[in-house]
């Protein structure tokens, strides 16, 4: 019955007045509460932590705050070490040292995205490799030739039906994040499989979101990246460190939809294995920048200001 199932003051016209007679009851209740063991939820979820890692990595790029990056690196390392089995498959959670439950689509999609953000924050090719491996496993476990990704794998506990989740609420759906991760990998690696898989994901998301775009916010974000003009910037340098101008450019890279790769003597072989097209970009005595659009690259330049002009940025962004 409305108004009776939960104690309330709906019909008490003096609800704003102090109710001193309750003081004793409250004190008695508080003393009893202190005697009870305080129960806390101390499980560590792979998916939630992956979202935090992605956010921290992105924040470190935009603010230059090393604490954000250190926290993201540490959290990713923990998941990579403690929440994977011998075959590299993810667990859903760890609690009191016990890992349990097969990872679901969200775990893989979110962690793949996190690895991509960490690559863009560090330019450590190991993270790009991790992203490729995690997303590949996500596709093999949850993929469907008809399009879209299932919520759980065939080897997990089987429910009445095997659903595909597309709704983006407070948490983005695994399908939306997977589409974004696949698309980012297609641009960073140039691999045909990621180009094709991201296309299929976007086709499904387009159908799902057509009549209610507001319920697919992350899908809209991912598709806007794919539809808007984009650039790829390849930096080759014989210096092991990342040029400062690249860090500065990153802060507006999202606005201009720029994906950046940095190739040096230390990472050239590994980067070439993941992004084979980078083998065509030699490392010389000078740091060179190649700006590409729609698969076509301009002549290299050793002056970052030339890149700024082509991107229609003010010189103040690249000094």
Write the CATH number for 288: 3.40.30
Same domain, 56 and 92: yes
Quick check: pTM over 0.85? yes
Question: What is the tens place of the pLDDT at every residue in 183-236?
Answer: 999 999 999 999 999 999 999 999 999 989 999 999 999 999 999 988 999 999
Question: What is the tens place of the pLDDT at every residue in 265-315?
Answer: 999 999 999 999 999 999 999 999 999 987 788 899 999 888 888 887 765
Answer whether residue 39 is part of any domain: no
Domain stop point among 227, 257, 274:
227
Same domain, 257 and 288: yes
Could you give the number of structural domains in the chain? 2
Answer whether residue 17 is part of any domain: no
Q: Which of 277, 282, 287 is nearest to 245 (CA)?
A: 287
Q: Are 256 and 288 in contact (CB under 8 A)?
A: no
Question: What is the tens place of the pLDDT at every residue in 69-126?
Answer: 999 999 999 999 999 999 999 999 999 999 999 999 999 999 999 999 999 999 999 9
Judging by beta carbons within 10 Å of its beta carbon (0-12, 13-18, 19+), is residue 167 exposed, middle or buried? middle
Same domain, 202 and 307: no
Tell me the pLDDT band of 319, cut-offs 50, 70 and 90: low
Same domain, 68 and 111: yes
Write the CATH number for 58: 1.50.10.20
Same domain, 122 and 111: yes
Domain hosting residue 316, numbered range: 229-319
Both tokens assigned to 114: 């996190």
- Among left, alpha and beta (phi > 0; psi -120 to 50; other), residue 274 is alpha
Average pLDDT, the chain: 90
Domain stop point among 227, 248, 270:
227
């Amino acid at each position: 019955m409305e108004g009776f199932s939960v104690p309330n003051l709906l019909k008490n016209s003096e609800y704003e007045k102090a109710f001193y007679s309750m003081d004793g009851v409250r004190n008695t209740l508080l003393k009893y509460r202190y005697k009870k063991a305080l129960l806390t939820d101390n499980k560590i979820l792979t998916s939630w932590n992956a979202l935090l890692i992605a956010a921290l990595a992105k924040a470190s790029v935009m603010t230059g705050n090393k604490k954000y990056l250190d926290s993201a690196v540490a959290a990713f390392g923990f998941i990579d070490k403690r929440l994977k089995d011998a075959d590299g498959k993810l667990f859903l959670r760890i609690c009191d040292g016990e890992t349990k439950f097969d990872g679901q689509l969200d775990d893989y999609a979110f962690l793949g995205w996190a690895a991509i953000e960490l690559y863009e924050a560090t330019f450590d090719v190991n993270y790009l490799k991790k992203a490729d491996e995690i997303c590949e496993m996500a596709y093999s476990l949850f993929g469907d030739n008809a399009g879209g990704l299932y919520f759980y794998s065939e080897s997990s506990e089987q429910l009445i039906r095997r659903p595909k989740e597309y709704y983006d609420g407070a948490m983005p759906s695994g399908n939306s994040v997977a589409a974004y991760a696949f698309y980012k990998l297609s641009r960073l690696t140039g691999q045909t499989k990621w180009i094709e898989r991201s296309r299929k994901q976007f086709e499904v998301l387009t159908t799902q979101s057509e009549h209610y775009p507001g319920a697919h916010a992350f899908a809209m974000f991912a598709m806007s990246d794919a539809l808007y003009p984009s650039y790829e910037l390849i930096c080759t340098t014989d210096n092991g460190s990342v040029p400062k101008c690249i860090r500065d450019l990153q802060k507006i890279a999202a606005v201009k939809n720029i994906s950046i790769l940095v190739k040096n003597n230390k990472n050239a072989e590994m980067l070439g294995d993941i992004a084979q097209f980078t083998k065509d970009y030699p490392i010389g005595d000078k740091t060179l920048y190649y700006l590409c659009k729609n698969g076509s690259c301009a002549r290299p330049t050793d002056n970052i200001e030339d890149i700024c002009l082509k991107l229609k940025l003010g010189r103040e962004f690249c000094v």
